[in-house]
A = this chain, B = another copy of it.
Amino acid sequence: MNSPRRTTIYDVAREAGVAASTVSRALNNPRRVNPVTRDHVVAVAERLGYRPDPLATALQSGHKATIAMLVPDITNPHFFGTIRGAEKRASEAGLTFILANTEESADNERNQIERLSRSVDGFVLAASRLREDTTRELAREYNLALVNRQVEGLPGAVVDNGSGSRQIIEHLASLGHRSVVYLSGPHRSWTASQRWRALRAAAERHGMTARRLGPFPPKVDGGGAAADAALAAEATALVAHNDLLAIGVLRRLTERGIPVPGRVSVVGYDDIFGADLCVPALTTVAGPQEEAGRAAVELLIRKGSLSRSQPAPQQVVLPSHLVIRDSTGPAV
C-alpha cells in the first residue's frame, strides 16, 4: 500500500558523490553550481527517479505551489466555468489546485481560509460571501484574488453584469415592456446587488419602472415562489437573478398555464448549460466565466512573484452580453 521509501535528496547526493546542498542547488539554482557537477547530479537524480517532496520544500521555503479556490456552492452550474478556468490556469502554472465548498456561508468561508492558509500560497474567492471589511482584513494576512466580487484595493476578475443588464433593459424596452421585476438572489450577494443596480439605472434611463422582489434561493426550487410573487406584482417582464432561478420560474409559469413569452417575458443570467435546452429557450446574459476564473489565478500568480514592485492590485473587468432566445417577446 505504501511505498517502501521514496528517494530523497540524500540518496541522490550519496550516489552522485556530492553534498545534499549541492543537489538542491543543482536542481533549483543551476547557475550556482559548476556545469559539470550539475549535469552529473541531474543525471543521477533522473536515474534514481528523484522527485522533490513538495511538503518538505514548502515547510522549508514557504513556497507551496498550491492555491485554493473557494466556491459558495460546488453544485451550482454557474460556477463550473469559473472553476474550470481557474483549474486550467493553475495546472498550466504547475500549481496544485484545491477546491472547497463554502456552502454559501461567510463563516464557513472564513474557516476554510484559516484552515487552508498554511497549505496554500493564495486563495481564489469565487462570489465571496464575506463582508467587505472582513475581506479586506483577511487580505492583509492572506493572498486573495476575487472572482465576481469587487472590493476596492483587492485584485480580482469580474464579469461585468452592467453591460448585460443594460442590454436586457434595451431589449425589453424595444419589445414595449414598461416595467421589470428583478427576482433577487441572496441579499448578501455582491452579484445580486450589482445586477439590480445596473438594471434599475438602465430602466430609469428608459423610463421604465423597476422593482425588486425577493430574495429567493438562486436555485430551480426558488422559482416557484419567485414566479408567484412576480405574477402577484403584475409584471410583464421578469429578470431572474440567475438561470437556475429563471428555469424554475419558467417551470412554475408553465404549471400555471401562463404563456411565455406570450404573457410574460423571462430573462436569466449566466447562460449555464441547459439554458438553451429548456422550453422556451432562455434569454440570458452570458459572460466569460471561464476567463474570469483564469484571470483571477493569473493575478494571484503575478502578485506572488512581483510582490514589491507591484503597483496597485489589478482588477479585470470582462464584459457580458445578452443572448436572446425564446423566452422574451413583445409586451402584451
Q: Does B91 contact A80, Cβ atoms closer than 8 Å?
A: no
In A90-133, the 8 Å CB interface with B consists of: 91, 96-101, 114-116, 118-119
Does A141 count as interface, using CB distance less than 8 angstroms?
Answer: yes
Report copies per complex.
2
CB distance from A89 to the nearest CB of B (A): 12
Q: Does A6 contact B96, Cβ atoms closer than 8 Å?
A: no
For A118, give its contact among B51, B59, B66, B87 (CB under 8 Å): B51
Mark interface residues in A1-22 (1 if CB within 8 Å of B CB, else 0). Answer: 1110010000000000000000
Q: Does A98 contact B101, Cβ atoms closer than 8 Å?
A: no
CA distance A129 to B212 in the complex (A): 49
CB distance from A62 to the nearest CB of B (A): 8
Does A259 count as interface, using CB distance less than 8 angstroms?
Answer: no
In A49-107, the 8 Å CB interface with B consists of: 51, 53-56, 58-59, 64, 66, 74-75, 77, 80, 83-84, 87-88, 91, 96-101
Q: Does A6 contact B118, Cβ atoms closer than 8 Å?
A: yes
CA distance A267 to B305 in the complex (A): 51
Q: Does B59 contact A87, Cβ atoms closer than 8 Å?
A: no
CA distance A100 to B87 in the complex (A): 7
Mark interface residues in A165-183 (1 if CB within 8 Å of B CB, else 0). Answer: 0000000000000000000
Query: 7 A–B contact pairs at CB < 8 A?
Result: A1-B140, A1-B303, A3-B142, A74-B80, A77-B77, A91-B101, A99-B99
